[in-house]
Structures are given as C-alpha cells and as structure tokens.
Chains A and B, each alone.
Chain A
C-alpha cells in the first residue's frame, strides 16, 4: 500500500505538468550562432550549431527552451582569392530540439558576403603596381552571437 502511494505521488506531478502542445508551422524562432564560421576555413556540408535565444511558449507551455540547440550545415561557400575576390558563405539551419527531445524542422538561412575589392584592386594594379593583383580579398565571416530568424515547418506535437 505504502509502495503504491509513493508510486502514485511520483507519477501524479508528471500527469499534471505534461501536456501535449501543438507547435504550428510558421512559428518564428530566434537563433544565435555559438561559434564564428569562416568561408576560408569551413567546407560545404560542415555542421554548424546555434542556440535558441528566446524560449517559444505556446498557451503558457514552453515547447522550445531558451538555449536549445539548433543544427544546420554550411550550404554554400566561396573562398576569398587573388585580385581582391571576396569570400561568400551561406549557412542553413534545419532543425531545433524541443523540450521533449523532438526534432522540430525549421528553415533559417543566412548569407554573408565580404566586401568586394576586385574593382579597387584592378584600378590600383593598372595605375600603380601590377603586384596589387596579388591582393587577397577578405573571407566572409559569420560571427558568433549573430541572430538568425528561423521559421518552423509544419505542425509538430510536443509534450511540454
């Protein structure tokens, strides 16, 4: 009897607190990159991570906690090169973890392009010194702490 009571007491709060919540598709989620991503040192397909900046709360129930991890990949990149060619980088986040461990599909894309120096390099090399053609453009860098707006795709049921 005592054992049954303990089991019931341990089990009841679980029932009271757990609730199925529907996270509707199209919900805005704010992500923040956790590390810097450089177009010259990263490669296409490389995994990138970000964390959720502000918790997503539906009907008073937190479905995606602040600090939850979002995963994505480097989608496209171009190295910086000679003649002032600038680097380009596109990262795409595809999922974020809900409070119950459900992987919520999202779409979030961020493209970064370093300032192009091709025109300036060509002008300087033509007018002043041909060696200026060796000028290497800047890499595209997505700094840590950059906020990215993500949108959830499709309705997802979460145990909040």
Chain B
C-alpha cells in the first residue's frame, strides 16, 4: 500500500494538524513578547498552559522569552511533524512492522520521560522527538490496518 492514497493520510492528518497549530502557538508566544512586547504573546502561553508545565528553564528560548511548551514537548511535536512528512512520502508497504517499531519508539520515550534519564534540554527534545516520531508511525500504521480491515484499501 502507498501513502499516496489520500485515505491513508486521514489518520495521520487528524494528529498532525493540531500539532502544527500547537507548534505555531509555542513559537508565537516568545515572538509576540520578544518582538512586539508584553503582553502580545501571553494569549499563546495561556492557550498552551493546560498541555505543558511550561517551566522556563526546561524550555528553549527565543528572543529572550521561553517557548510556550517545554523542550520535551517541542521535540515531541516536531517528531510528530517529521513522522507525518515521512509517512506522506513513504512509498513502501506499512502495517504490523511499522506498528511495532512505532510502539517501541513511543513506549521507550515515555519510559525515558518517566524515569528522567535525559539531562539537558537538547536530550529532552531528542527523547521527545523519538517519541513523537514513533507515535506518528503508530497512528499511521494503525489507521492503515484499520482501512485494510474495512476493505477500503487492498492488503499487500
């Protein structure tokens, strides 16, 4: 099966679109406060305050203001975006193998976040990226298998 088939982009898109909105808001917050002045960016910080602890020392900074999500979340959402681009470009068959790889990456990143092995924002972002990429693989493979089950797309 190929991800060029529009139906297969449905599952990943449902997750990718909110991700892009969150990333845009996360960057808009420091841009607003840093370039246009306080309180321009505050609405973006407030918008994302329920999904992230927003600890400034655990976030990347832009124009002397922290992003509205922490480094791990930033990595996670970037990973989802990268995974989304990868599954759209993928030409080979996907299915149980990708599902397993995605699940393994996602669970590893979750465990790493729970145990807290990564020290420093770069490593936290990397861990998040791996988890986000894995999550997108998981979602795209699961949705592909779901459509195969419904016989909406052929099984290869």
A contact set with B: CB distance below 8 Å: 25-28, 30, 53-54, 147, 149, 151
Q: A25-B38, A26-B37, A28-B33 are in contact. Are A149 and B54 (CB under 8 A)?
A: yes
B98 CB-CB contact with A under 8 Å:
no
Asked, given contacts A149-B45, A149-B66, whether A26 binds B57 with beta carbons under 8 Å apart, the answer is: no
A30 and B56 contacting across the interface, CB-CB below 8 Å: yes
Residue of B nearest to A28 (CB): B65
Do A26 and B38 have beta carbons less than 8 Å apart? Answer: yes
- Pair A26/B56 contact, Cβ less than 8 Å: no
Complex Cα distance, B59 from A54, in Å, reads 13
Contact of B66 with A54 in the complex, beta carbons under 8 Å = no
Q: How far is the CA of A25 from the CA of B39 in the complex (A)?
A: 11
Residue of A nearest to B45 (CB): A149
Q: Which 8 A-B pairs have the closest CB atoms?
A: A147-B55, A26-B38, A30-B56, A28-B65, A151-B38, A149-B56, A26-B37, A147-B56
Tell me the chain B residues, 55-103 only, with Cβ under 8 Å from chain A: 55-58, 64-66
| Contact indicator A28/B66 (Cβ below 8 Å) | yes
Chain A residue, CB-CB nearest to B63: A28
Q: Which A residues are in CB contact (< 8 Å) with B55?
A: 147
Q: List 19 A-B contacts (CB under 8 A).
A: A26-B33, A26-B37, A27-B64, A28-B33, A28-B56, A28-B64, A28-B66, A30-B56, A30-B57, A53-B56, A53-B57, A54-B57, A147-B55, A147-B56, A147-B57, A147-B58, A149-B54, A151-B33, A151-B39
* Chain A residues closer than 8 Å to B57, beta-carbon distance: 30, 53-54, 147
A53 to B38, CA, bound (A): 21
A48 to chain B, nearest CB (A): 18
Min distance, Cβ A148 to any Cβ of chain B, angstroms: 8
Most buried by B among A27, A53, A149, A151: A149
- Rounded to whole angstroms, the CA-CA distance of A64 and B45 in the bound complex is 24
Docked complex Cα distance between A53 and B58 (Å)? 12
Residues of B within 8 A of A27 (CB): 64
B118 to chain A, nearest CB (A): 18
CB neighbours of B38 from chain A (8 A): 25-26, 151
- CA distance in complex: A53, B55 (Å): 11
Q: Which residues of A contact B64 (CB under 8 A)?
A: 27-28
- CB neighbours (8 Å) of A147 from chain B are 53-58
B74 vs chain A, min Cβ distance (A): 16
Q: Which residue of A lies closest to B39 (CB)?
A: A151
For the complex, what is the distance from the CA of A102 to the CA of B55, rounded to whole Å? 26
Contacts of A30 in B (CB 8 A): 56-57
The chain B residue sitting closest to A54, CB to CB, is B57
Given contacts A28-B33, A54-B57, A151-B33, 9 further A-B contacts (CB under 8 A): A26-B38, A28-B64, A147-B53, A147-B57, A147-B58, A149-B54, A149-B56, A151-B38, A151-B39
